[in-house]
Amino acid sequence: MCGIVAYVGNKPCQQLLLEGLKRLEYRGYDSAGIAVLEKGKLRVCKSIGRVQNLEDKLEENGGLSGNLGMAHTRWATHGGVTDINAHPHIDDKVGIALIHNGIIENYASLKTYLEEKGHTFKSQTDTEVLAMLIGELYEGDLERAVQAALREVTGAYSIAVICEKEPNVLVVARKGSPLIVGIGNGEYFVASDASAIVSHTATAFTLDDYNVVKITPEGFHTSTIHNVPVTPRIEQLEIELQEIELGGYQHFMRKEIYEQPKALRNCLRGRIDVKEGRVILGGLAGLAKELTKLRRVVLTAQGTALHAAMIGEYLLEDLAKLPAVAEYASEFRYRNPIIEDGTAVIAVSQSGETADTLAALREAKERGALSLGVVNAVGSSIPRETDAGVYLRVGPEIGVASTKAFVGQVCVLTLITLFLGRRRFMSTEHCSELLKALDSLPEKIEQVLTQDEAIRKVTEKYCDRENWLFLGRGYNYPTALEGALKLKEISYIHAEGMPAAEMKHGPIALISEGMPAVFIANRGRQYDKVMSNIQEVRARGGHVIAVATEGDHEIKRYAEDVLYVPDIAEPLSPMLTVVPLQLMAYHAAVIRGHDVDKPRNLAKSVTVE
Ligand code: G6P
């Protein structure tokens, strides 16, 4: 969603800020803007569309010079996509500029108050209200004015503020929306996402909620909105620059699909002992007692992470014999959920910042659940708020359509299942056998990737069709949902995923001559039933594309096209069967001429409800 970059130091900052914005483009946005203090005067430029449009506009106007500035990418919430609604927003009276991620929930009452005080608003945004409020409360000290304004605000925010009256000062603050300060040599870099600053410095600290930081080239001062001093924890960022660069690939999504074997190796490293049938999860080690007493697990997430959570539900019940349920975080949090003794909630999230997932986690915690996180982004909000958790370790995911994070999430949920299973009913031998299979997964994904061209050809045959079905059963029902979601997200083809048996209860009416139906038909407990479902589609003129187990020649009699994956224990199969579906979605988007890494309307991390 929205992105923030800001700089204070000794360098001209326009280019640096634009480069930062480009690193944040993947998060999804629809307009961009920049403000620089040029010889003590605020200069602002904004544009709808891509960061490139902003860059072109700046060039036409001769650019901005100055060593203190900030820039923003906006994903519209309050007010349409217009230059005026783009950030920064300005308070003219004092000369304050502000950029903001999040939502000011009480903006309407604040607006009325400010209008009564004589302020007039140009935009329809909640952000402009905050800029004016800071201006209204300004009494010669920007840091104090920001603290005072934020004490009046409800909602979520990360903000950066500059002021003509204090030309060396940048003030930033956070509540519920991430913000990081990178420390250089006499210079500071602020961003909502570490990827925007890693090319400058690896030394950084993350703001906690309600923290305000005043930064000048000489140093910084951190306090709460109540002006209580805070000592931030300075850390070294672990992100490598190459992890957030294309490195020869045309798109991040493709790069990340190809990174999956490596990502899984990293995820598994040091965590499995195949011989002893043991899973070592440092993140859960301190909870041995609570975990043995577990009676129920609620997995909660949104989007792709929910599909991983659904596979987690199957894994936990099947292998660890623990009652489990996966739920949309957005539904779970509002439906008065019952949390009994011995319940753990697992929040599954790539970013660790998804607003609904975070809120569901808080709700469950409040009702007494043990809270666990399965998260990729280290130090993000979810792991900061959970009792314990396991990181994915798959590296930063830039592609908006999640791929390697999905296999990472399923892999970690498998590890947690085996970890718990061994403490319950699972034998060493059974665990060993599954760990051996898990260990072979990266290589098997590599084998699937070698069929990329064949997958592209099959996709090409069908990608002019506007309606697709994805069908699977058991462990691969969530995989079908994920395949449909991938196709929708980046190729804008209408696709529905469902349990193969459900098709007969309505969706079968959709099947017409030539409609593509993708079946996940690998060998498993319900193979024969899937074959029957395939025949039902064929009988109505649908074209079947089957994802099948290598060596299954029989299936060619029923399916127009077959994409093979190596054989693997059924509970682990979604991590293999999803790969051809990811590649199909990727190729469909490329063939249809869409911008794979910047799909329309989507945001990488949805930090508003
Ligand atoms: C957005 C993204 C999806 C992602 C979902 C959950 O909708 O576009 O790719 O699956 O959020 O995100 P999370 O960071 O919690 O996994």
Is 488 annotated in the active site? no
Cα 35 from Cα 69, distance rounded (Å) = 6
**259 and 203 in a common domain:** no
Q: Which of 22, 111, 598, 604 is catalytic?
A: 604
DSSP secondary structure string for all residues of 538-581:
HTTTPEEEEEEETT--GGGGT-SEEEEE----GGGTHHHHHHHH
pLDDT value of position 522: 97
- In DSSP terms, 190 is beta-bridged to 6, 181
Indicate whether 238 and 253 sit together in one domain: no
Q: Is 8 exposed, middle or buried (0-12, 13-18, 19+ CB in 10 A)?
A: buried
User: Does 148 lie in the same domain as 17?
Assistant: yes
**Among 2, 411, 431, 463, which one carries the catalytic annotation?**
2
User: Distance (Å, rounded) from C-alpha 190 to C-alpha 310?
Assistant: 37
- Residue 380 beta carbon below 6 angstroms from any ligand 1 atom: no
Which amino acid is residue 70, in one-letter code?
Answer: M
In a domain, 26, yes or no: yes
Rounded CA-CA distance 421/294 in Å is 11
% residues pLDDT > 70 (the chain): 100
The CATH number given to whatever domain includes residue 487 is: 3.40.50.10490
Q: C-alpha angle 388/390/394, rounded to 5°? A: 150
* pLDDT reading at 161 higher than 80: yes
d(CA 420, CA 423): 5
CB 324 within 8 A of CB 297: yes
Spatial CB neighbours of 6, under 8 Å, sequence gap ≥ 6: 17, 69, 70, 71, 99, 160, 162, 170, 172, 189, 190, 191
Are 558 and 462 a contacting pair, CB within 8 Å? no
pLDDT of residue 119: 95
Give me ligand 1 centre to Cα 547, in Å: 25
CA Rg value for the chain: 25
pLDDT at residue number 605: 84
User: 67: domain CATH number?
Assistant: 3.60.20.10
Same domain, 385 and 461: no
Residue 608 lies in a domain: no
Verify whether ligand 1 is closer than 6 Å to residue 582 (CB atom): no
Q: Are residues 125 and 202 in the same domain?
A: yes
C-alpha distances out from residue 124 to 108, 111, 117, 476, Å:
10, 11, 18, 45
Burial (Cβ within 10 Å: 0-12, 13-18, ≥19) of residue 319: buried
Distance of CA 201 from the midpoint of ligand 1 (Å): 27
Instruction: Please tell me the total count of domains within the chain.
Output: 3
**Which of 243, 266, 298 marks a domain boundary?**
243
Task: Write the residue with the smallest CA distance to atom 15 of ligand 1.
Answer: 349
Region of 379 on the Ramachandran plot (φ > 0 left; ψ -120 to 50 alpha; else beta):
left
Last residue of a domain, one of 193, 228, 243: 243
Q: What is the span of the domain harbouring residue 236?
A: 3-243
Q: Are residues 308 and 194 in the same domain?
A: no
Q: Cα separations (Å) of 138 from 43, 120, 145, 284? A: 20, 17, 5, 48
Continuous H helices in 197-302: 252-258, 260-268, 282-285, 288-292
Long-range CB contacts (within 8 A, 24+) of 555-563: 555/521, 555/531, 558/531, 558/534, 559/519, 559/521, 559/534, 561/458, 561/461, 563/451, 563/454, 563/455, 563/458
Q: What's the whole-model pTM score?
A: 0.90
Are 410 and 555 found together in one domain? Answer: no
Question: Is pLDDT at 582 greater than 90 in this prediction?
Answer: yes
**pLDDT at residue 520, rounded to an integer:** 98
Whether residue 436 sits in one domain with residue 461: no
343 and 430 fall within a common domain: yes
Give the torsion sign (CA, 259, 261, 265, 267).
positive
Cβ of 404 less than 6 Å from ligand 1 = no
- Centre of ligand 1 from the C-alpha of residue 337, in Å: 23
Q: Report whether pLDDT(150) > 80.
A: yes
Give the position of tokens 């997964």. Answer: 441
Average pLDDT over the chain reads: 95
Residue 289 has pLDDT above 90, yes or no: no
CA of 50 to the centre of ligand 1 (A): 22
Ligand 1: does its nearest atom lie under 6 Å from the Cβ of 381? no
Confidence of residue 288 (pLDDT cuts 50, 70, 90): confident
Whether 418 and 278 map to the same domain: the answer is yes
Q: CA 396 to CA 604: how far, in whole Å?
A: 12
Q: Which residue's C-alpha comes closest to atom 8 of ligand 1?
A: 604
Residue 53 near residue 108, CB atoms below 8 Å: no
For residue 354 and ligand 1, the question of a CB distance below 6 A is answered with yes
Helices (DSSP H) in 450-546: which residue ranges?
A: 452-462, 477-491, 527-538
Residue at 602 is within a domain = no
β-bridge mates for residue 343, sequence order? 296
The amino acid that residue 510 corresponds to is L
Point out the domain boundary residue: 447, 466, 488: 447
Residue 604 reports pLDDT greater than 90 = no
DSSP-derived secondary structure for 373-422: EEESSTT-HHHHHSSEEEE-------SSS--HHHHHHHHHHHHHHHHHHH
Answer whether 424's CB lies under 8 Å from 320's CB.
Answer: yes
Q: Is residue 609 part of a domain?
A: no
In a domain? residue 607: no
Angle between helices 477-491 and 574-591 (to 10 degrees): 20
> Looking at the structure, do residues 186 and 269 belong to the same domain, yes or no?
no
13 is catalytic: no
Please check whether residue 603 lies inside any domain of the structure. Answer: no
158 Cβ closer than 6 Å to some ligand 1 atom: no
The rounded Å distance from CA 392 to ligand 1 centre is 15
Is 80 exceeded by the pLDDT of residue 418?
yes
The whole-angstrom separation of Cα 454 and Cα 449 is: 10
Q: What is the pLDDT of residues 171-230, one digit of tens each?
A: 999 998 899 999 999 999 999 999 999 999 999 999 999 999 999 999 999 999 999 999
* 208, 289: one domain: no
Structural domain includes residue 562:
yes
Q: Look at residues 195, 431, 441, 414 and name the one whose alpha carbon lies nearest to residue 315.
A: 414
Distance, CA 305 to ligand 1 centroid (Å)?
6
Distance CA 367, CA 320 (A): 24
Instruction: Decide: 303 in ligand 1 pocket, CB within 6 A.
Output: yes
Give the pLDDT score at 27.
Answer: 86
- Please give the number of the atom of ligand 1 that sits closest to the Cα of 302: 6
Tokens of 388: 């314990």
Token readout for 466 is 């506007």
Model pLDDT for residues 436-486, shown as the tens digit of each residue: 999 999 999 999 999 999 999 999 999 999 999 999 999 999 999 999 999
